Structure 1
């Protein structure tokens, strides 16, 4: 018997199944892991709860809010910090230079005023044009290597959108002279579930879904419309939505043209090593989350699960999670123990907590963090996407579409994929 199936039970797949139910159809989700949620899943360690990296919601779409708002949440101000060379600066850093010595501020602002006129082809060009060489070298170029694992000159620019704020000389000057500048972050409020970690927002999607956990797809015969799983099961389908990583899907498909297979082989993502820390003292973090520029600290970003929701940690305790990125272009060479010790060193260096206050130290590795937009990636990806869709397979989510999508965008991606797969518009339910 054939039916409608989804590969992957992350937010995009779950949203697709939810939309299918709204349209009067059923979809079965096949998930390789033992639990649903994908990158938005959370995990517990000895009574502490952590997410798979920092997740906070600022969704505005009515369709997303209709689901997320079913879960009680805490609303946070979108205020974050940066750690840079023994000093805390508010984010975005170029607009908050007040704590820096006058000579440093002068040189950085002069670089902004003298920023070069150049043809913007790469992310490095974009940073130099936006911020000038001094600011670019001091902060975003260094952070790019830590977060994206490649040099800015090897990244394109189409992914940027509103994720980084263009430098405004008036804002930069005000932030250099005043300790209380206007918050210029691209959002003002963020939401997080009271209980259950970020996964709490997608629990309503999970509860009503038909999910077959522990089913890792190993081959897809798109001509016969049959998927084989690691369990030995073979499933025929009428419609299929894929949310698992696009290169992995192509690797298991039959009759793939050489140019498509070659293009898929060039697509890569970051890997994420999470070092989760439990501390026997409340309120150790200076902000909900913060960025780290120092090259000797492996982590690029840190957040406080206990700040996001007190239920994430035992009473009177607090928690931190350090994010360390690597990729096929920059493989992780540190051992798990070295990563742990580096994070503890950083914690003490930043004055957050002492080693003897740490009561939990945990490591988890995620094979996929972010899609990397190396130069020309979009054209290669689009070739792959076009061919996969020509095989009758819809794509959804960050890794299915191979795009820079937040959770709300992945939710909407799953809805669109369901409508396309079922051949029905949003108004025909």
Structure 2
């Protein structure tokens, strides 16, 4: 029996295994998929490599950098664009209004200058009071529905942190008058492996861990300290760390109070449909990644794998990956063929490439993209998480903690879960 049983072979689970080695104890990672990596895995089609959605590293934790920096990497300026009905604007859009007609800029800035402040009850209130109603209505309120799948008035604000640039009138004015306003993104440089896709950053962790793939956990007996797999095998544990989605874990556990089951069942996440397009021409994307505000375009965000690294495409070729978000609150009605056609039509409308340039298109769905911070989610999640941890089970990672964590934060989360359990076990 291993000292620590770890459910899930993504970066949080690999972080947990790393911490176990640091403490001199053994661990076993159970991964349901055919290979570890989770959201940080990649896939290849006809000589092109695609990640599971856009991934770039801006980790600054020494423990993360010590591992990631073993892999040779490229550095990219953290600069992106926004597409809005025929206009390319730099991100964040409110700070880069220069391309718009003067009358539109005046109306947008006037709305910001005159916006009254008041109680912030939800994300919509935050957006309107940050940017003014005209800017909020034109861009972030639309993007909220495309990316988070629910209206902004149904979302909380605890997740925002540095992810949304807070409005400053001087920045907005400068960006309206100057074609190249300063880049105000929350990081300046992003890193990506020269070869092997984003997964290459975590290969040292994969090589060092004991991992069993194809291990589908179907029940967790926290009282008897064992988990059961789909093939009937039962594995005992002394310490257990789960990185699987928190609602899924609770559904597998014994003797769960009804109020905890109800709280767990109320938690939901986005799904991501990826439409990957291979092109027989050099780079076509105007930036490393870009956001789309047109409501008739299904994708919320697009990135270029071949820009992240030339190793991701054959010589003379490039690639795009389009991200389409849905959830149980806004199910996706389009078929794969309809999603693909929508992306190809948008690609042509934006002037990026012609259909005759397309080598192939590929579809993949990620069942979990981001946890959704609907109103009251944090309180419900915290009750669930506290109950699970009271059973002596550690939770880690974006879906184990049910939090908006980047890859470096997920790694540290896995480490911290083992640290806590090891300390508590004496």
TM-score, with normalisation over the residues of structure 2? 0.99
Q: Secondary structure at the match of 2:219?
A: strand
Partner of 2:413: 413
User: Cα RMSD (Å) of the superposition?
Assistant: 1.1
Partner of 1:38: 38
Q: Secondary structure at the match of 2:137?
A: helix
Partner of 2:264: 264
Alignment of 1:219-258 (within 5 A): 219-258=219-258
Contact 1:43–1:49 under 8 Å retained in 2: yes
Contact 2:288–2:307 under 8 Å retained in 1: yes
Partner of 1:210: 210
Partner of 1:178: 178
Contact 1:72–1:193 under 8 Å retained in 2: yes
Q: Distance in 2 between matches of 1:284 and 1:129?
A: 37
Partner of 1:115: 115
Q: Distance in 1 between matches of 2:2 and 2:225?
A: 9
Q: Distance in 2 between matches of 1:390 and 1:129?
A: 40
Partner of 2:277: 277
Contact 1:19–1:418 under 8 Å retained in 2: yes
Q: Secondary structure at the match of 1:383?
A: helix
Contact 1:274–1:365 under 8 Å retained in 2: yes
User: Over residues 257-281 of structure 1, what are the superposed CA-to-partner deviations in whole Å (9 max), with x where a residue is unaligned?
Assistant: 0000000000000000000000000
Q: Distance in 1 between matches of 2:233 and 2:424?
A: 29
Q: Secondary structure at the match of 1:409?
A: helix
Q: Secondary structure at the match of 1:401?
A: helix
Partner of 1:361: 361
User: Over residues 56-98 of structure 1, what are the superposed CA-to-partner deviations in whole Å (9 max), with x where a residue is unaligned?
Assistant: 0000010100000000000000010000011100000000000
Q: Distance in 1 between matches of 2:165 and 2:177?
A: 19
Q: Distance in 1 between matches of 2:32 and 2:230?
A: 9
Report the alpha carbon displacement of residue 418 of structure 1 after superposing the two structures with TM.
Answer: 1.2
Report the alpha carbon displacement of residue 27 of structure 1 after superposing the two structures with TM.
Answer: 0.8
Contact 1:10–1:40 under 8 Å retained in 2: yes
Partner of 1:394: 394
Report the alpha carbon displacement of residue 3 of structure 1 after superposing the two structures with TM.
Answer: 3.2
Q: Is residue 164 of structure 1 aligned with residue 129 of structure 2?
A: no
Q: Distance in 1 between matches of 2:272 and 2:34?
A: 20
Q: Give the 4+ runs in structure 1 shifted more than 2 A.
A: none
Q: Distance in 2 between matches of 1:216 and 1:47?
A: 31
Report the alpha carbon displacement of residue 232 of structure 1 after superposing the two structures with TM.
Answer: 2.2
Partner of 1:330: 330
Q: Distance in 2 between matches of 1:158 and 1:170?
A: 26
Q: Distance in 2 between matches of 1:51 and 1:381?
A: 29
Alignment of 1:23-62 (within 5 A): 23-62=23-62
Q: Secondary structure at the match of 1:224?
A: coil
Q: Secondary structure at the match of 1:34?
A: coil
Q: Distance in 2 between matches of 1:360 and 1:423?
A: 52
Contact 1:2–1:235 under 8 Å retained in 2: no
Q: Distance in 1 between matches of 2:424 and 2:212?
A: 25
Q: Secondary structure at the match of 2:402?
A: coil
Q: Distance in 2 between matches of 1:193 and 1:285?
A: 19
Report the alpha carbon displacement of residue 4 of structure 1 after superposing the two structures with TM.
Answer: 1.3
Q: Distance in 1 between matches of 2:284 and 2:103?
A: 32
Contact 1:3–1:236 under 8 Å retained in 2: no
Contact 2:2–2:26 under 8 Å retained in 1: no
Partner of 1:375: 375
Report the alpha carbon displacement of residue 2 of structure 1 after superposing the two structures with TM.
Answer: 5.7
Point out where structure 2 has 5 or more consecutive residues left out of the alignment: none
Point out where structure 1 has 5 or more consecutive residues left out of the alignment: none
Q: Is residue 293 of structure 1 aligned with residue 315 of structure 2?
A: no
Contact 2:3–2:25 under 8 Å retained in 1: no
Q: Distance in 2 between matches of 1:404 and 1:2?
A: 30
Q: Distance in 2 between matches of 1:57 and 1:236?
A: 36
Report the alpha carbon displacement of residue 424 of structure 1 after superposing the two structures with TM.
Answer: 7.2
